[in-house]
Structure 1
Amino acid sequence: MARVVSLFLPTWSTDRARRKLGPAAPSPEIPLVMLGRDRRRQVVMAADAAAQRLGLRVGMPATTARVLVPDLTALDHEALADAEGLERLAVWMLQRYAPIVTADPPDGIILDVAGADHLHGGEAAMLAGMVARLGRAGLLAKAAIADTWGAAHALARFTRGPTCVVPMGGAQEAIADLPLASLRLPQDVLEGLRVLGFVRVSDLWATPRAPLTLRFGPELGRRLDQALGHASEPIDPIRPADLIEVRRSFPEPIGAPETLARYIGKLVVQLCEGLTAQGVGAKRLDLICHRVDNTLQALRVGTAVPVRDVQRLTRLLTDKIETIEPGFGIEILSLTATLVEPLAARQVATSLVEESVPDVSDLVDILANRVGEHSIYRAAPVASDVPERSVRRIAAMTPETGETWPGHWPRPARLLQPPERIETLALLPDHPPVWFTWRGIRRRVHRADGPERVFGEWWKRDPELAAVRDYFQLEDDAGERYWVFRAGDGEDAATGSHRWFLHGVFG
């Protein structure tokens, strides 16, 4: 089943203009509008959030807008530049999120993420990351996911909150209370429905379809059926000219897994020839199956490093054939290298003396495509004395930077996040505990070492100006070793609560 994401950019025109101006752009607090011509009048074609808060709206005459906001900043509306920018953003989304993406002018993008959401930590995490990433780039965004284009489009524009996740089969319930404008109907149809007393989408369900169709035409029923999934609304995926793509058409539809695997292997051979000709390797492959019922089935795999090895790429794709639903048959197979990076040819080492460096990228690719690339990572050091800030997650195949953790004080193999409160008996200010109780079990301290004093990072937050932790390594009678700290220096109450916490367990 399709899972469609509608990405809504409510202030796309003004956000794009600010990005284009760069340092010369007005502050986000300063209201900005884009002006254009509506017949003989100059009207507001787009308004940013600050302008909307002051009462400016799309379609308002420019003279009225300047009366309401005398110091208004206005730029010429560039409809063509907005459309081209939306296409470029759609290509960016294609390379990072889903194999089926298309622009939804004038202020949206549609993605079919079925089979690709697990690569981003699930649907909710994917939408949240998508909105946050665009926000960091200066683009205000909202996103919704549902079974249909119509439902996702409506929810992205007419619900509160930056994201909305509708479970499978829940489109009808989700859009029931939305206004009629959410169905993408022409303005004259909306006005006619309001005259008849229709307000919400659910008001249409109890009304016979024939009189409505007779009065307003087939568009009303078509949009309602598309939103509920009763009528198809195919997505025509965007395909830039510079993408490396190969395809195969079949005189008779295919559907057997063995047949799919055979033709996938042939497509990979052709694709690798194109990759070699351009001196690049694939980091993301999209296989799109065009079914005879005019629907698309997509399959996406990624690699940790650029690859153009036929056997390796074929295995990654065929491992996921089980996720393809061929229906009544597949008539076209399309394989695209959506994301590529330079990959120079290299000679395979044949020396019997030099040790070859093991290549685990193939294993990383297999695991990442099964459980998601965000689930495969390794730890890297960060320059911080605060233990929970001294490590970060990086991609499994990220090159070594040469950074290491300081070795003058040992650190436990396992840190508790957050540290857990313990009850202790200790002689202040610098003696270790004599005993401590953790998770209901009292442990007597046999050996101890410390304290190691860690100061707060005052440049990050004001409360850390005086914050102190004193860490101790403890060993109990059973030989178990623990890492505990006291919040504070044992004397000054401003340095901490002087409570004790267990932060780690040594292996």
Structure 2
Amino acid sequence: MPRVVSLFLPSWSTDRLRRKLGDVSPPPDKPLVLVGRHGNRRLVTAVDRAALEAGLRVGMPATKAQALVQGLAVMDAEPEADAQALDRLALWALRRYAPIVAADPPDGLVMDTTGADHLHGGERLMLADMVEHLGKVGFSARAAIADSWGAAHAVARYVKQTVSVVAVNATQDAILPLPIAALRLPDAIVRGLRVLGFDRVGELLQQPRAPLTLRFGPELGRRLDQAAGRLAEPIEPVRSADVVEVQRAFGEPIGAAETIARYVGKLVQALCVDLETKGLGARRLDLLLYRVDNRIEAVRVGMALPVRDVKRLTRLLCDKIEMVDPGFGIELMRLSAPLAESLTPRQTVSSLIEQRDADISDLIDTLGNRVGEEKLYRFTPVASDVPERSFRRVAAASAETGDAWPDHWPRPARLFAVPEPIEAIALLPDHPPASFTWKGIRRRIKRADGPERVFGEWWKRDAELTAVRDYFQVEDEAGERFWIYRAGDGEDTATGSHRWFLHGIFG
């Protein structure tokens, strides 16, 4: 089942202009409209959020807009620049999110993310990442994913949520309550339907198709079928002029998995030759398979480090062949590296002179493409005495920072994200507990070491100016070892509540 994302940029033109002007742009709270000429009339072609809240709308005369809002910022529209910037944004999304991306003028993108969302932690996290990245650079956005382009387009624009995920096979239910304008119909057809009393998509789907087609033509039925997912709507992916890619056309369509795998190997070999010529290694590979029924099947794989090893890349792609539906046959295969980085050859070192470091990047790539890059990580030390702040997650293949883990006190193999409260019996201020109760089980302590005193980081929060924790390593009668602490120094209540917590378990 295909999964299509619609990325809606409600104030694309005004956001782009503000970003272009930089410091000399109108203040964010000042209403801004863009004006273009239609014949002899100057009409509003775009409004920002402040202008929308002030009651201004696209299509109204510029003179009326200026009369309604005092101090309105009015600037000339730049439709060609908007379209070019939208194409550049599509290339950015192509490198980052999906193998099939296209501009959806005038205010959005469309992407076929089938089989690519797992690289970003799932559909919802992928959509949230899109909106967050655009928000950081000044573009407001909403994103939706559904089984069809029409449904995703409608939900992104008419459901007032930043991120919307329509479940698989729930497309029709999602579009039923939406207004008929969500179907991407010409304005004349929308007005005619409203005259007849139709307001919602669900009302149209309940009507016989023949009378509607007779009155409004085939466009209405086509848009209904596309939105409901009954009629395919191919997406012509954007292509970058400088991307490294190879392709293979077939005189007779192919469909067998073994045949596809054989030609994947040939395409990878040709692509690696081009990459080597340019001194590059692939970080993303997109395999597009064009079917005879005008549909495109796509496979995307990612690598933790730049790679141009033929066997390795072929294996990663062939692992995904089972996801490909060849339909009635594939007539064209295209392999591209939308994300490539510099890769210089490394000199082979003799094992008699120096032992080579173990290379686990192949394993990282295999696991990353199966479970998702976001779910594969490692920890690196951070300069902090507070245990939960003494590490951070980084990419599994990220370079070493040179920081070393502190070894003056041992740390548990398993550290809880949130310390769990326990009941403990202890002699204050410096003695370890004689016993503690965790999850209803009382544990008598046989051995203990501590306390290790950890002070709060006063430069981060004022509340930590006097905060203290006293940590103990304890072992119960069953031989299990725990890392517990008391909040406070055992004497002054200003240093903590003097409650006990379990923070980790030793292996």
Cross-structure match for 1:481: 481
In the TM superposition, 1:386-465 aligns within 5 A as 386-465=386-465
Aligned positions of 1:21-420 closer than 5 A: 21-420=21-420
SS in 2 for 1:57: coil
Which stretch of structure 1 is more off in the superposition, 224-233 or 23-32? 23-32
1:453-495: CA deviation from partner (whole Å, max 9, x where unpaired): 3344444445444543332222223332211122334445454
Greater Cα shift, 76-85 or 218-227: 76-85
The superposition leaves residues 115-157 of structure 1 with CA deviations (integer Å, 9 ceiling, x where unpaired) of 1111111112211222222222222111111110000000001
Mean CA deviation greater in 487-496 or 118-127? 487-496
C-alpha distance in 2 between matches for 1:167 and 1:249: 35
- AA aligned to 1:422 is I
Q: Deviations over 1:177-233 (max 9, x none)?
A: 000010011111111111100010000122111111111111111110110112221
State how far apart, in whole Å, the 2-side matches of 1:141 and 1:203 are. Answer: 29
Alpha-carbon distance in 1 for matches of 2:179, 2:395: 44
| CA distances 1:100-126 after superposition (whole Å, capped 9, x unpaired) | 110101111001011111111111221
For structure 1, the residue ranges without an aligned partner over 5 or more in a row are none
- For residues 351 and 447 of structure 1, the distance between their equivalents in structure 2, rounded to whole angstroms, comes to 47
**Aligned partner of 2:69: which letter?**
V
Do the aligned partners of residues 177 and 357 (structure 1) sit closer, same or farther apart at CA in structure 2, a change above 3 Å counting? same
Could you tell me how far apart the structure 1 residues matched to 2:492 and 2:41 are? Answer: 70
Closer, same or farther in 2 for the Cα pair 1:407/1:69, shift >3 Å? farther
- Distance in 1, Cα, partners of 2:87 & 2:327: 31
Counterpart code for 1:279:
G
**Letter in structure 1 aligned against 2:256:** A
Tell me how far 1:311 sits from its aligned partner. 1.4
CA–CA distance in structure 2, aligned partners of residues 460 and 143 of structure 1: 35
> What residue ranges of structure 2 are gaps of 5+ in the alignment?
none
Task: List 4+ stretches of structure 1 deviating above 6 A.
Answer: none
Seen in structure 2, the aligned counterparts of structure 1 residues 56 and 393 have a Cα distance that, compared at 3 Å, is same
Hey, what's the Cα distance between the residues in 2 that align with 1:283 and 1:56? 46
Deviations 1:296-340 (A, max 9, x none): 110111111111111111111112111111111111111111110
Which shifted more, 291-300 or 20-29? 20-29
Q: CA RMSD in A?
A: 1.8
Specify whether residues 256 and 423 from structure 1 end up closer, same or farther in structure 2 by C-alpha distance, changes over 3 A only: same
Deviation digits for residues 335-389 of structure 1 (CA, Å, limit 9, x no counterpart): 1111100112232223522111221111111111111111221111122332222
Moved more, 360-369 or 152-161: 360-369
Amino acid at match of 2:447: R
Q: Give 1:274 shift.
A: 1.0
Q: Which moved more, 1:136-145 or 1:382-391?
A: 382-391
Letter of the structure 2 residue corresponding to residue 398 of structure 1: S
Q: Tell me the amino acid that sits aligned with residue 277 of structure 2.
A: A
DSSP 3-state at the match of 1:379? strand
* Cα distance between partner residues in 2 of 1:394 and 1:376: 9
CA distance in 2, matches of 1:153, 1:391: 41
2:31 and 2:462 map into 1 onto residues whose CA distance is 33
Letter in 2 for 1:30: K
> Could you state the TM-score of these two structures normalised by the residue count of structure 1?
0.95
Distance, in Å, in 2 between the alignment partners of 1:194 and 1:490 is 74
Distance 2:21 2:380 in 1: 37
Distance 1:209 1:246, change over 3 A: same
Q: What is the CA–CA distance in structure 1 between the aligned matches of 2:117 and 2:96, rounded to whole Å?
A: 11
Aligned position for 1:7: 7
Give 1:176 deviation, angstroms: 0.2
Local SS of the residue matching 2:241: coil
Tell me which moved more, 315-324 or 51-60: 51-60
Correspondence for 1:18: 18
> Tell me, what secondary structure is at the counterpart of 1:237?
coil
Deviation at 1:427, TM superposition (A): 3.0
Structure 1 Cα separation of the partners of residues 54 and 205 of structure 2:
38
Structure 1 pair 123–406 and aligned structure 2 pair: CA distance change class (3 A) = same
Q: How many residues align?
A: 507
Amino acid at match of 2:209: R
Deviates more, 1:15-24 or 1:210-219: 15-24
Aligned partner of 1:91: which letter?
L
Change (3 A) 1:236 1:479: same
1:260-292 CA distances to partner (integer Å, 9 max, x unpaired)? 111111111111111112111111111111111
Instruction: Output the CA distance in 2 between the equivalents of 1:101 and 1:418.
Output: 41
